């Protein structure tokens, strides 16, 4: 995930400095000012979710009509930016490949191209696997991937994504393009065979089809220009960044599924993402209430973790390398987390009353597992207001001991990753909520 240093502007010294900074953040050697001590977490007060502490005084109608939109506006204004409401669709879709005997006959593989804009050559390459043994409509896990659909399974028929991607030679990205060597490199993160066996469909697309995760970001090569006013050349400080664009893409994929994938139960689409794409899954699920279940895997700062704990990654750590994931206003709260008008319990509360799963990992302190847990706990009053259970544990559970109400949480032993263990929990959670 190291950016191509040669293309950074400036002299060699600056390039090396920026390169090292990015390298340290994106490869786990965190900046020296990172706090990992619980005793150094400041005393903080979360902004109120519900206007009254007596949550029963707040009616359900008030939540949906007033408070929910208010919270969404706060998150838009200060964190992710506003998603344009202009409807560019309907988009043309083209089935490029269909194989009813994929994965040794267990699944049907479909590859679909969703054209976003011909002139800008923007399209989403969607990969779908449907379980063949199903007798009725099936639920589906949907999420974006980091390096192209061909990374999620070794199936030789998956098209290799031809677009720019961030350099990662160890998985076979050469000159910012995917090679054959990338096939199946992230199969563990996706567990396609396991999902098919359990009767779930899977839909995935490369995040860079929507907006390339390019560290010299100027918003010129993704979907943002499609929404500019005359003479606008970059998003305004309150308009969406890259996470907003990725979340928009997830909603467009859901549009396609609703309209064209009759084998999938469109009310049972679980949106899932890991890390930056976990932040994205949460923002997509918060804005688009058609997603039936939302899963955040190790999403950390700007995802499920509470900003106010100032533990692990913080806003000022993000500005240089990846500030473009967020809106311009986000950077104003660098070193000022306590003044941020929103915090991430609000993001999680926007998923209510739909099932929400937040997962952390013990070695992923950069993402602040406890802050992820506490945000889920603090979102619970909204679930309760809406007649659901929220998170059924006031304490962070021991590692590998999931707690599951309508909000689920686990702290897996191990590193920043998506593993078979994580998927086992997501599957049992989805089975329960989708009543299978
Ligand atoms: C970096 C970044 C995190 C992000 C992660 C990822 O570590 O600091 O915020 O979640 O990359 O997406 O892999």
- What digits encode the pLDDT tens for the residues 224-242? 999 999 999 999 999 999 9
pTM of the predicted protein model: 0.93
Q: Is the CB of 226 under 6 A from ligand 1?
A: no
**pLDDT of amino acid 153:** 98
Mean pLDDT for 153-171 is 97
In whole numbers, what is the pLDDT of the chain averaged over residues?
A: 93
Q: Ligand 1 center to residue 26 CA distance, Å?
A: 6
Q: Residue 20: pLDDT band by 50, 70, 90 thresholds? A: very low
Domain residues for the domain of 380 are: 7-80+292-412+425-434
Of 253, 268, 283, the residue at which a domain comes to its end is: 268
Residues 50 and 160 in one domain: no
Residue holding tokens 């996706």? 190
**pLDDT of amino acid 57:** 55
Residues 229 and 325 in one domain: no
CA angle at 269 for the pair 302 and 417, rounded to the nearest 5°: 45
Residues 223 and 100 in one domain: yes
Q: CA-to-CA distance for 150 and 134, rounded, in angstroms?
A: 25
DSSP string, 108-150: EEEEEEEEEETTTTEEEEEEEEEETT-SS-EEEEEEEESS-GG
Q: Ligand 1 center to residue 367 CA distance, Å?
A: 8
Q: CA-to-CA distance for 398 and 412, rounded, in angstroms?
A: 9
Residues 208 and 146 in one domain: yes
Let me know if residue 276 belongs to a domain.
no
Residues 314 and 400 in one domain: yes
Let me know if residue 419 belongs to a domain.
no
H-helix segments, 36-121: 60-62, 68-75, 102-105
Q: Is residue 194 within 8 Å of 425, Cβ to Cβ?
A: no
Residues 99 and 240 in one domain: yes
Residues 24 and 46 in one domain: yes
Q: Is the CB of 301 under 6 A from ligand 1?
A: yes
Q: Ligand 1 center to residue 319 CA distance, Å?
A: 12
pLDDT tens digits for 84-143? 988 898 899 999 999 999 999 999 999 999 999 999 999 999 999 999 999 999 999 999
Closest atom, ligand 1, to C-alpha of 313: 8
Let me know if residue 275 belongs to a domain.
no
Is the pLDDT score of 25 beyond 90? no
Nearest CA to ligand 1 atom 7: 26
Q: Is the CB of 300 under 6 A from ligand 1?
A: yes
**pLDDT of amino acid 216:** 85
Residues 107 and 61 in one domain: no
Q: Is the CB of 364 under 6 A from ligand 1?
A: no
Count of domains observed in the chain: 2
Let me know if residue 282 belongs to a domain.
no
Q: Is residue 247 within 8 Å of 222, Cβ to Cβ?
A: no
Which three-class secondary structure state does DSSP give residue 341? coil
Q: Ligand 1 center to residue 123 CA distance, Å?
A: 25
Let me know if residue 99 belongs to a domain.
yes
Residues 63 and 147 in one domain: no
Let me know if residue 312 belongs to a domain.
yes
Neighbours of 337 (CB within 10 A): 19
Q: Is residue 372 within 8 Å of 300, Cβ to Cβ?
A: yes
Supply the residues annotated as catalytic: 275, 416
Residues 111 and 248 in one domain: yes
Q: Ligand 1 center to residue 232 CA distance, Å?
A: 29
Let me know if residue 418 belongs to a domain.
no
Residues 118 and 253 in one domain: yes
Ligand 1 probe mutation, 281, 313, 360, most atoms within 8 A of CB: 313
Nearest CA to ligand 1 atom 11: 26
Let me know if residue 213 belongs to a domain.
yes
HSE at residue 86, side-chain half, CA atoms within 13 A, is: 9
Q: Is the CB of 25 under 6 A from ligand 1?
A: yes
pLDDT tens digits for 369-398? 999 999 999 999 999 999 999 999 999 999
Residues 45 and 148 in one domain: no
């Amino acid at each position: 995930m190291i950016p191509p240093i040669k293309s950074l502007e400036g002299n060699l010294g600056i390039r090396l400095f920026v390169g090292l900074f990015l390298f340290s953040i994106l490869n786990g050697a965190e900046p020296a000012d990172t706090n990992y001590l619980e005793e150094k977490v400041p005393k903080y007060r979360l902004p109120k979710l519900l206007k009254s502490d007596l949550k029963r005084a707040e009616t359900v109608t008030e939540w949906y009509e007033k408070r929910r939109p208010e919270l969404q506006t706060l998150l838009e204004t200060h964190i992710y930016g506003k998603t344009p409401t202009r409807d560019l669709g309907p988009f043309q879709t083209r089935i490029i490949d269909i194989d009813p005997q994929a994965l040794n006959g267990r699944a049907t593989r479909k590859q679909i191209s969703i054209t976003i804009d011909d002139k800008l050559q923007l399209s989403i390459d969607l990969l779908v696997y449907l379980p063949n043994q199903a007798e009725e409509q099936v639920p589906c896990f949907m999420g974006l991937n980091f390096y192209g659909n061909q990374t999620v399974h070794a199936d030789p028929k998956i098209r290799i994504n031809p677009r720019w991607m961030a350099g990662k030679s160890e998985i076979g990205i050469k000159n910012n393009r995917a090679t054959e060597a990338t096939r199946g490199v992230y199969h563990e993160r996706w567990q396609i065979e396991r999902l098919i066996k359990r009767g779930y469909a899977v839909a995935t697309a490369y995040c860079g089809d929507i907006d390339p995760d390019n560290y010299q970001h100027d918003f010129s090569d993704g979907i943002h220009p499609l929404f500019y006013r005359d003479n606008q050349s970059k998003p305004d400080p309150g308009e969406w960044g890259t996470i907003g664009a990725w979340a928009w893409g997830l909603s467009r994929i859901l549009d396609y599924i609703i309209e064209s994938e009759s084998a999938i139960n469109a009310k049972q689409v679980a949106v899932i993402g890991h890390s930056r794409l976990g932040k994205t899954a949460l923002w997509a699920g918060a804005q688009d209430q058609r997603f039936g279940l939302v899963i955040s895997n190790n999403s950390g700062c700007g995802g499920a973790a509470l900003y106010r704990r100032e533990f692990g990654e913080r806003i000022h750590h993000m500005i240089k390398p990846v500030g473009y994931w967020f809106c311009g206003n986000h950077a104003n709260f660098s070193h000022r987390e306590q003044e941020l008008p929103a915090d991430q319990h609000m993001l999680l509360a926007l998923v209510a009353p739909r099932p929400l799963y937040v997962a952390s990992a013990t070695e992923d302190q950069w993402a602040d597992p406890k802050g992820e847990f506490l945000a889920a706990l603090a979102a619970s009053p909204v679930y309760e207001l809406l007649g659901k259970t929220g998170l059924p544990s006031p304490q962070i559970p021991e590692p590998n001991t999931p707690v599951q109400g309508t909000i689920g949480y686990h702290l897996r032993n191990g590193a920043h990753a998506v593993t078979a263990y994580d998927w086992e929990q997501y599957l049992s959670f989805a089975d329960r909520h989708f009543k299978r």
